[in-house]
Structure 1
Amino acid sequence: MKRWYLLYCKRGEQVRAKQHLENQGVECFYPTVGVEKILRGKRQKVEEPLFPCYVFAYFDYEQGPNFTSVRSTRGVVDFVRFGAQPKEVQGDLVFELMQLEKCCNDNTVSECMPKPGDQIRVKSGQFAGIDAIFQEQDGEKRSIMLVQMITKRVPVSIDNSDLDLK
């Protein structure tokens, strides 16, 4: 009977371990979640692992590959164990994680910075709570904003992470 097991992998080799396990006929699940990051001055969606260094494997060790061959797969360090035997993971938990991953990855993210003249709210930093007008990018991580100071608008360079870029 097939069961889910949790494998601990070498850092950065989870995808390789997953590919090699699938070549052996082992069904694998490596949950990732889309995360918003500002890369090269643009807001982008990047896939990051939900559980770094861990891969779920679904196989029947009596009829398919045994524990030793799975554990010796390139990129795999060992099974997650409680005692001497690898502990199986409840299938319901894995299916719930699959649904969570599918739900989270369906959300779309705007991938561009605002256009000059767009009204932006500063969410943190020294200008927190102030509405400003986007003027231009100032390198990869900062933007020049026009902030109302008493009687005139003054250009100020603000970190992109401080802006509310919805």
Structure 2
Amino acid sequence: MKRWYLLYCKRGEQARAKMHLENQGLECYYPEVEIEKILRGKRQKVKEPLFPSYVFVHFDYEQGPSFTTVRSTRGVVDFIRFGAHPQEVDPALIDELEKLATHPEEPETDALPKQGEEIRVTGGQFAGIDAIFQEADGEARSIMLVKMINRPVQVSIDNKDLDI
């Protein structure tokens, strides 16, 4: 009977391990998420592993391949074990992960204010000042317009210091 197992892979070699495992006729699941990152000064959407260095594999060790064959696959370090035996993964977990991958939850659109909205800065060096929201600056900071010497100046402020 086929069962799900979790493999620990060499750093950055999950895709290689998945390819070699699939060449052996095994079903693999390697969940990825699409995130926004600022790379070389530009905002880009990139896919990253949900669980870095881990790959789920579905096979019947009694019919083959054996645990040793799977563990010896290029890019694989070992099974996640509980004692001496590889730990089985509940199939419901895989189903739930696949469901979330096909129907991702929409991120909160109200998490950050709209461009041009006035916000009170509650902490940091600009505490107590009203600023105008310009845009998000990564995940934890925002670009704000702060009036200094009768001129608006763009500054990057930590989101936890904003009264959102």
Q: Does the residue aligned with 1:12 lie in a helix, a strand or coil?
A: coil
Distance 2:143 2:6 in 1: 47
Give the TM-score normalised by the residue count of structure 2: 0.71
CA contact (8 A) 1:35 1:48 kept: yes
2:97: which partner in 1? Answer: 97
Distance 1:67 1:41 in 2: 45
| 1:100 Cα deviation after fit | 2.0
- 1:46-90: per-residue Cα shift (whole Å, max 9, x none)? 222221111000011122311111110000011111121112111
Kept in 2: contact 1:17–1:73 (CA 8 A):
yes
Equivalent residues of 2:80, 2:87 under 8 A apart: yes
Query: Against the structure 1 CA distance between its residues 107 and 23, is the aligned structure 2 distance closer, same or farther, given a 3 Å change threshold?
Result: farther
Cα distance in 1 between the residues matched to 2:34 and 2:65: 32
Cross-structure match for 2:138:
none
| Secondary structure at 1:63 match in 2 | coil
> Residue 33 of structure 1: SS of its match in structure 2?
strand
Deviation at 1:130, TM superposition (A): 3.8
Identity %: 62
Distance 1:8 1:122 in 2: 46
Per the normalisation by structure 1, the TM-score is: 0.71
Aligned positions of 1:7-18 closer than 5 A: 7-18=7-18
Give the secondary structure class of the aligned counterpart of 1:158: strand
Higher relative contact order (CA 8 A, sep 6+): 1
Letter in 1 for 2:53: C
Q: Decide whether the 8 Å contact of 1:37 with 1:44 is kept in 2.
A: yes
For residues 69-80 of structure 1, the aligned pairs below 5 Å read 69-80=69-80
Number of aligned pairs?
149
Which residue pairs with 2:156 in the alignment? 158
* Native 8 Å contact 1:145 1:158 kept in 2: yes
2:5 corresponds to which residue? 5
Superposed, 1:1-166 pairs within 5 Å as: 1-104=1-104, 119=116, 126-127=125-126, 130-132=130-132, 134=134, 146-149=145-148, 152-158=150-156
| Structure 1 stretches lacking a partner, 5+ long | 109-117, 135-141
Name the CA shift for 1:35/1:143 in 2 (closer, same or farther; >3 Å): closer
In 1: Cα distance, 2:76 partner to 2:51 partner: 14
**2:34–2:48: 8 Å Cα contact kept in structure 1?**
yes
Distance 2:120 2:27 in 1: 46
SS of the residue aligned with 2:73?
coil
